């Protein structure tokens, strides 16, 4: 992209990745009372919606925007991917990411997803668990384990998913700092368009070179998998691989870091649940799924109506943009008892934190595995850590993306 530079082009610029940590989140602390009020009025609303504290949903420039709050209604939309198209993401993300599976409809989506999916099956991920994810987390913990205190967001959760992706892609270690910078700049494109677009172009050039290397000398990494992938005689083009790899940055980094932070905060605030998981790690799957219900890192996803239709008695016009409020649906009191409580022992565990239907999160097994390794390693290395009584109590904030921005803890039992 002529004339525009990513700051990462100049490696002399000192860079603290943490500077960019909250640029995409917004500041709302607790949108849930307002979301509940709106859901009680109706599970589906039309027009612009004011969430208070400066938060708004429904782009007034598009025809008749619709917002869906109810669990069953969100699932109905995601199930009917002919009436509700994902092409809406073209406008938002297409220019930055290129054409990705997120914005494709069937049958194109099915054929491209089939080509990338095999690397993300849980069985395939086992190869990365010990040598790669555990290694990243242990290295991060090494940098503060003798201090007796830490901000776990700054020291661990914010950093590990991007390093895991870099390793999964088999990138050379020396490239990690600029890769992390590009990743953050692309993810925060809404805050700085030119910088995000420049990083997107830089990533493309970088990945084109790596792909050429992997074609010549394949390895045990995701880029080698993607250049080799074949379904029914079809391969991915370089452009398709580049777009997919760029999508992994916002899709896989921003989300996993936030989910891990919210899980840690939920546990640190409730000693009985912390101790239960510390003592019995087989509870991890339910502890993690419950955090995705209670505080999904991505609280809203989008669709566009392909024809005039109707949902819960509300008319929807062809072309209308539809915001699906995952955060509200996951706390729908028609489905969950005491929905505002984080409770890993609840019996109703179904949620839409990973979406639903044909576009359900491709990286969900990776996200589960990464967070499990991070939490287990923290438990094993730090012992039963607690919130730092001398620090400001942390809280979760954000609108489209939510999580704690700090997690000050003390440890020292061992």
Judged by the rule CB under 6 A, the positions of this chain that interact with ligand HEM are: 101-102, 113, 247-248, 251-252, 255-256, 259, 292, 296-298, 301, 353-355, 359, 361-363, 366-367
Pick from 280, 288, 236, 303: nearest CA to 98: 236
Residue 99: CB minimum distance to ligand HEM, A: 12
Phi and psi of 101, rounded to 5°? -65, -25
In the bound state with ligand HEM, the residue whose beta carbon lies nearer, of 108 and 275, is 108
Residue nearest to ligand HEM (CB): 363
In the bound state with ligand HEM, the residue whose beta carbon lies nearer, of 4 and 300, is 300
In the bound state with ligand HEM, the residue whose beta carbon lies nearer, of 109 and 181, is 109
Residue 289: CB minimum distance to ligand HEM, A: 10
The dihedral formed by the CA atoms of 229, 233, 239 and 240, expressed in degrees to the nearest 10: -60
What are 56's strand-pairing partners? 50
What residues contact 328, with CB distance under 8 A and at least 6 apart?
A: 32, 35, 36, 38, 39, 69, 70
Alpha-carbon distance of 175 to 135, in angstroms, equals 18
Alpha-carbon distance of 238 to 180, in angstroms, equals 22
In the bound state with ligand HEM, the residue whose beta carbon lies nearer, of 87 and 192, is 87
Residue 101: CB minimum distance to ligand HEM, A: 4
Residue 84: CB minimum distance to ligand HEM, A: 10
Residue 149: CB minimum distance to ligand HEM, A: 26
Do residues 347 and 337 touch, judged by C-beta distance below 8 A? no
Alpha-carbon distance of 96 to 90, in angstroms, equals 10
Query: Is the sign of the CA dihedral 167, 171, 176, 181 positive or negative?
Result: negative
DSSP designation for 308: -
In the bound state with ligand HEM, the residue whose beta carbon lies nearer, of 140 and 183, is 183
In the bound state with ligand HEM, the residue whose beta carbon lies nearer, of 127 and 147, is 127
3-state secondary structure of 377: helix
Residue 342: CB minimum distance to ligand HEM, A: 15
Other C-beta atoms lying within 10 Å of the C-beta of residue 413 = 8
Residue 11: CB minimum distance to ligand HEM, A: 26
In the bound state with ligand HEM, the residue whose beta carbon lies nearer, of 202 and 367, is 367
């Amino acid at each position: 992209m002529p004339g525009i530079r990513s700051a990462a082009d100049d490696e002399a610029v000192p860079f603290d990745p943490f500077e960019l940590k909250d640029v995409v989140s917004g500041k709302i602390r607790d949108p849930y009372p307002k979301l509940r009020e709106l859901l009680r009025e109706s599970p589906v609303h039309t027009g612009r919606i004011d969430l208070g504290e400066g938060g708004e949903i429904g782009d007034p420039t598009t025809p008749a925007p619709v917002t869906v709050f109810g669990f069953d209604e969100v699932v109905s939309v995601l199930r009917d991917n002919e009436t509700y198209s994902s092409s809406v993401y073209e406008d938002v993300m297409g220019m930055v990411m290129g054409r990705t599976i997120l914005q494709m409809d069937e049958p194109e989506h099915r054929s491209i997803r089939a080509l990338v999916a095999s690397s993300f099956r849980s069985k395939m991920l086992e190869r990365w668990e010990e040598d790669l994810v555990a290694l990243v987390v242990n290295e991060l913990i090494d940098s503060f384990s003798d201090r007796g205190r830490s901000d776990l967001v700054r020291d661990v959760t914010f950093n590990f998913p991007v390093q895991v992706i870099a390793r999964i892609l088999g990138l050379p270690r020396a490239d990690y700092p600029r890769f992390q910078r590009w990743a953050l700049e692309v993810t925060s494109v809404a805050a700085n368009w030119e910088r995000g677009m420049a990083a997107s172009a830089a990533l493309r050039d970088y990945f084109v070179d790596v792909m050429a290397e992997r074609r010549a000398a394949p390895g045990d990494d995701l880029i080698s998998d993607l250049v080799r992938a074949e379904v029914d005689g079809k391969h991915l083009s370089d452009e398709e691989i580049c777009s997919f790899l760029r999508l992994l940055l916002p899709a896989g980094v921003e989300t996993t870091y936030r989910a891990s932070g919210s899980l840690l905060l939920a546990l640190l605030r409730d000693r009985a649940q912390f101790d239960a998981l510390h003592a019995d790690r087989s509870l991890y799957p339910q502890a993690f799924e419950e955090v995705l219900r209670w505080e999904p890192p991505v609280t809203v996803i989008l669709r566009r109506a392909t024809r005039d239709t109707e949902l819960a008695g509300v008319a929807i016009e062809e072309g209308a943009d539809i915001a699906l409020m995952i955060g509200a649906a996951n706390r729908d009191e028609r489905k969950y008892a005491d929905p505002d409580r984080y409770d890993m022992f609840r019996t109703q565990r179904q949620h839409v934190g990973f979406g639903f239907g044909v576009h359900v999160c491709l990286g969900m097994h990776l996200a589960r595995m990464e967070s499990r390794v991070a939490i287990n390693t923290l438990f094993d290395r730090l012992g039963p850590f607690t919130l730092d009584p001398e620090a400001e109590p942390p809280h979760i904030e954000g609108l489209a993306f939510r999580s704690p921005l700090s997690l000050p803890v003390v440890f020292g039992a061992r």
